[in-house]
Every structure is written in C-alpha cells, then in structure tokens.
Amino acid sequence: MATPEAVHFAALLKDLKDRSGRSYGVLAGKLHVSTSTLHRYCNGDAVPNEFAPVERFARVCGASGDELVEVHRRWIVADAARRRPPASSAAPAVAPDAVPAKVPDAAPAAVP
C-alpha cells in the first residue's frame, strides 16, 4: 500500500509525465527502465531506491530548476517514509501477568 508521502511524490511525477506528452513506453525507453516500473513510480506504488532515475525522468520531461528541487524534496520524504518500519512491527509488550516465578529460599547453611 502506498504511503501518503509516496502518493504526493507520484503526483508530481505524473504531472511532469503528462505535461511532457510522452507515453510511459517512450519515457521508459529513454530512461532504461521498464514501462511497468515507471508506471509504479507515477502511481505511488513504488519509490525508487536512488534519486538518479527520478532526476533523469524529471529532466527528460522538461522539469524546470525549481521543479527539480521539488522532485528531490518529495523523493527524500517518500524514501524516508518507505524505509520506516510499519507501526504493527513494534515489539509486543510484556503481559502484565508475566511475573517471574518465586525462587525458593535457600536451605539454611549447616552449622559446624
């Protein structure tokens, strides 16, 4: 499931892609990635591990300098969100009734 950060990042990629007038296939060929990979990036289903393919994508789509900065900012945020462990993976809390068993008292020492 896409994080909100990935969806926000993807919205900018999709806008750049649409504005370029190029198909996913044409862009994928220029970027040396598969069409399905590029489609996942633009839908927020995946965030690239590195910024380089995102920068190439933005440049091929004709992004301005300000747009390149914004793409980089959104990628950093989306990448950080992708790396965050899911909330459900937290360590389970110790049950309140999990009290260690009482250790029996030691036998009295023998007196000589």
CATH code where residue 9 lies: 1.10.260.40
**Is 91 within a domain?**
no
Q: Please give the residue range of the domain that contains residue 43.
A: 4-84
Q: Where are the alpha helices (DSSP H) in the chain?
A: 4-20, 24-31, 35-43, 52-60, 65-83
The per-residue pLDDT for 57 is 97
**Is 60 within a domain?**
yes
**Is 103 within a domain?**
no
DSSP 68-79: HHHHHHHHHHHH
The per-residue pLDDT for 84 is 87
Distance CA 65, CA 84 (A): 29
Q: What is the DSSP letter of 108?
A: P
Q: pLDDT 10s per residue in the chain (112 long)?
A: 789 999 999 999 999 999 999 999 999 999 999 999 999 999 999 999 999 999 999 999 999 999 999 999 999 999 999 888 877 655 555 555 555 566 666 666 666 6
**Is 69 within a domain?**
yes
**Is 95 within a domain?**
no
**Is 24 within a domain?**
yes
**Two tokens, residue 105:** 């008292």
**Is 57 within a domain?**
yes
The per-residue pLDDT for 105 is 65
Q: Quick one: which of 77, 75, 78, 67 has its CA closest to 19?
A: 67
pTM across the whole model: 0.74
The per-residue pLDDT for 29 is 95
How many alpha carbons fall within 13 Å on the CB side of residue 71? 28
Helix (H, G, I), strand (E, B) or coil at 62: coil
Question: Number of folded domains in the chain?
Answer: 1
The per-residue pLDDT for 93 is 55
**Is 54 within a domain?**
yes
